[in-house]
Each structure stands twice: as structure tokens, then as C-alpha cells.
Amino acid sequence: MVQFGAPEDFSKDHKLRYDQLVYANDRFKQISLKKASELKDKIDDKTKLFIKGYGTDKELISCFRELLFNSRELLDSLLFFINKNTGNGTNKNFLSFAKSLMRNEYDKYDSKIINFLKLNFTYIFHIRKFRNEIKNKPSNIEFIFVTNHCEARFKVPIKPEEQELVHYLEINNKDEAIKNNFYYCRLMLDKYFPEIVEFWNTVFKIMK
């Protein structure tokens, strides 16, 4: 079991968590290709096939969980790292950090990693939200094969303390999402898995 460590442990723990992301990505590719091959005679351009009507396919949910749980741990470690390198000038709590980040309160540090997170705010917000959803209600997530790719579709709940952040997300119908306290998310997993790996690759390069 990998325990979340102090900031000085970051260089040690982040490699293992990153390796698990890469492993989850590789597993997803293999499982996705296998399932697509099994279903190729049942799918065409006008057909959508639910892997399981109420949501979770055990192999796909396992990969998705591995990707998101390790991404969330990396994000926590990154917030500790940034806090240490700004002389405790940033918040280690995600919601507080995110609000200050998007209110431009951290612009004074002229930090490449802070600027990068700001530009990719939807990614870091969703890492946290998707991880929470797969932890609290995995049956909410429906896996669908459409022709040659796999999608995950689920409802993302919005808590009152998160509403301010919705305005900064790259999603449609933000006002409606705030009014309803949720929005629907559709992920093309064939793109999302490698994008998450590349996202963390870029973070590590900036931190060097």
C-alpha cells in the first residue's frame, strides 16, 4: 500500500503513481480492443451498445478507477509541492486552491506550474470530481461502445461550494448546470486515458 507522504517524499511516490497511470492506460487499450473485437458484428455507424445497462463493466471500471485514484493522489501531492515552493503561499486544500487560482490570486508567483494548472483547470477539476464519483457511485458510470471507440457517460454532481468554479469549466450550459446542481459528462476514453498520462508527463517536465 502506498501511503500519501510529506512534500519531501513527492519525488519518490509520484513515480509509482505515474507508473500505475501508464499501466491503467495500457490495460484499457488491451481491454477496449478485445471488447470491440467481440462486438464488431453488433455495432455499426447507427448502433450503440451498452456494455452493461446500469453502468459498470468490471474490467473497464477497474482501469478507470486506477487512472483517477492515482491522478487524484498526484494532484494532492502536487498541491503540497506548490505550497512548499511558494513558502506556504498557496493552499493545500483543492477547493481553496482552485478558487484562489481562478481568482488570479496566485499570479504574483509567476510560476510555470501554476500557470499551467490555470490553463488546464477543467482537467484538474474533473480529476477530483471523476474520482469522487467513481468512489461514491460507480453505477452512475455507463460504458458504451460506439463504432470504433469506447465512451463513459455519467452525471457529475455540483455541490454549493463548487458552483463558483463551474464558470471556469470548458462545459456547455454552465448556468443550467449550476441551476440543476449537476451536468452530464461524456468522455471518449480512447482519448482521455492517454491525455491524462500526457498531462502528468507535462507537469513533471515543468517541475524539473
Domain boundaries, the chain: 11-207
User: Can you tell me which residue has the cell 481568482?
Assistant: 103
pLDDT, one tens digit per residue, over 53-93 is 445 678 889 999 999 999 999 999 999 999 999 999 999 99
What was the pLDDT predicted at 7?
Answer: 53
What was the pLDDT predicted at 54?
Answer: 40
Beta pairing partners, 187: 152
CA 202 to chain centre: 15
Beta pairing partners, 50: 144
Mean pLDDT across 31-41? 79
CB–CB of 74/17 below 8 Å? Answer: yes
| Rg from Cα positions in the chain | 18
CA 196/CA 22 separation, integer angstroms: 9
pLDDT, one tens digit per residue, over 177-201 is 999 999 999 999 999 999 999 999 9
What was the pLDDT predicted at 55?
Answer: 54
Pairing of strands 182-188, 142-146: unpaired
Calculate the average pLDDT of the chain.
88
Farthest CA pair distance, the chain? 59
**1 pLDDT higher than 50:** no
What was the pLDDT predicted at 30?
Answer: 92
Instruction: Sheet containing 182-188: give its strands across.
Output: 48-50, 142-146, 149-157, 182-188
pTM reported for the whole predicted model: 0.86
pLDDT-derived band of residue 36, with 50, 70 and 90 as boundaries? confident
Question: Could you give the angle at the alpha carbon of 11 between the alpha carbons of 98 and 165, nearest 5°?
Answer: 10
pLDDT-derived band of residue 96, with 50, 70 and 90 as boundaries? very high
**6 pLDDT higher than 60:** no
DSSP 39: H
Mean pLDDT across 138-151? 82
CA 191/CA 143 separation, integer angstroms: 14
Question: Could you give the angle at the alpha carbon of 61 between the alpha carbons of 55 and 62, nearest 5°?
Answer: 155
